[in-house]
Amino acid sequence: MSTATFAGQTLNVDADGFLADANDWTPEIAEAIASDVGIDLTDRHWTVINFCRKDNEEMGTAPGVRRITKATDVSMKEMYQLFPGGPGVLAAKISGLTKPKGCV
Amino acid sequence: MFGNGNGNGETPRKIAIICSKGSLDMAYPGLILANAARMMGIEAVLFFTFWGMDIITKKHVDKLHAGIVGNPATHMPAMLAGLPGMETLATKMMKKKIEEIDIPSIHELLEILDASGAEMYACRMAMDMFDLENEDLVEEVHEVIGAMDFFEKAEGAQTIFI
């Protein structure tokens, strides 16, 4: 297991830099991960992140992009504008979760 | 930004998928793969040709059938698969299952791909062969192009033929 430093905290991460433990996550860490992938978090990002955190708690797994668009008012197109490097992986990564397992 | 599949800024990745079949079971793999690529920041180009034209024609997109004749993986005797009504039944069952596990319809997948920035092209030769006009195609199709144009669009991409 490798480690990475976000917002001054050294945390365990997987091979792709996703937090190993979702409980390590804080909003400050989200800002730090986002900044590492070139994203400045806005209220719209937070709509997505808050849903991802809540859904992961309820379902035990990070939601896929389509699930996020169905449960929030963020459209598919907007998801790609918010997370241009790939909303499927980046929404989960910034939310401190593992990669979504689903295909959509 | 990045578009490299994992968001850490290495070499950008791109895939090109040729969809040449029009059955439900051959339409899904190409579209799902393209969508998965987009979700992880990989660029995706889709080229529809031959029977794959059914996936992008307004008349057929919502009526694709599961291909069961000559398919040993259906686990039913070959003679049965050809009986009248069997294909309709198999299609109905497959669509029901797809809905149950919350996989989008083919048409919705095309909309998702369009919103994700995937590029979708129709084959000019197949258009002529099936007497199709631009207005026969779903609006998510960007352009009608030839095979050589496809290779230009697919430059640097990993290519998948389905």
Contact B8 A16 (CB under 8 A): yes
Q: Which of residues 42-61 of A touch B (CB under 8 A)?
A: none
Q: Round to whole Å and give the CA distance between A3 and A17.
A: 8
- Number of other CB atoms surrounding residue A97 within 10 Å: 22
How far away is chain B from the Cα of A86, in angstroms, using its nearest Cα?
4
Q: What is chain B's mean pLDDT, rounded?
A: 90
CA A53 to chain centre: 8
Tell me what pLDDT residue B5 has. Answer: 54
CA–CA distance, B119 with B47 (Å, rounded to integer): 9
Q: Tell how far CA B109 is from the center of its chain.
A: 9
Round to whole Å and give the CA distance between B114 and B134.
17
Contact B35, A83 (CB under 8 A): no
Q: What percent of chain A has pLDDT over 90?
A: 73
Quote the strand ranges of chain B, DSSP E: 14-19, 43-48, 119-123, 143-145, 158-161
CA–CA gap between residue A83 and residue B152 (Å, rounded): 27
Q: Which pLDDT score, from 0 to 100, does residue A8 have? A: 85
Q: Over the stretch B75-98, which tens digit does the pLDDT of each residue have?
A: 888 888 888 888 899 999 989 988
Output phi, psi for B61, to 5 deg.
-55, -35
Taking 70 as the threshold, does the pLDDT of residue B22 lie above it? yes
Provide CB contacts within 8 A for B104, sequence distance 6+: A66, A104, B112
Q: Does B29 touch chain A (CB under 8 A)?
A: no
Q: Does residue B4 register a pLDDT over 60?
A: no
Residues of B in contact with A100 (CB under 8 A): 39
Instruction: Flag whether residue B99 sits within 8 Å of chain A, measured between CB atoms.
Output: no
Token pair belonging to B137: 């195609």
Structure tokens of B65? 């059938």
pLDDT of residue B11: 65
pTM: 0.88
Question: Could you tell me how far CA B79 lies from the centroid of its own chain?
Answer: 29
Segment A35-45 shows an average pLDDT of: 94
In sequence order, which ranges of chain A are alpha helices (DSSP H)? Answer: 27-36, 43-59, 65-71, 76-82, 87-94
CB A97 within 8 A of CB A88: no
Q: Which pLDDT does position B79 carry in this prediction?
A: 83
CB pairs under 8 A between A and B: 71
Of A80, A86, A100, the CB nearest to B7: A86
pLDDT tens-digit map of A15-38: 888 999 999 999 999 999 999 999
**Does the annotation mark A52 as catalytic?**
no
Q: Collapsing DSSP states into helix, strand and coil, what is residue B152?
A: helix
A89 Cα to chain B: minimum distance (Å): 6
Asked if A90 and B36 come within 8 Å (Cβ–Cβ), the reply is no
B145 touches chain A (CB under 8 A): no
Q: How far is B39 from chain A (nearest CA, A)?
A: 4
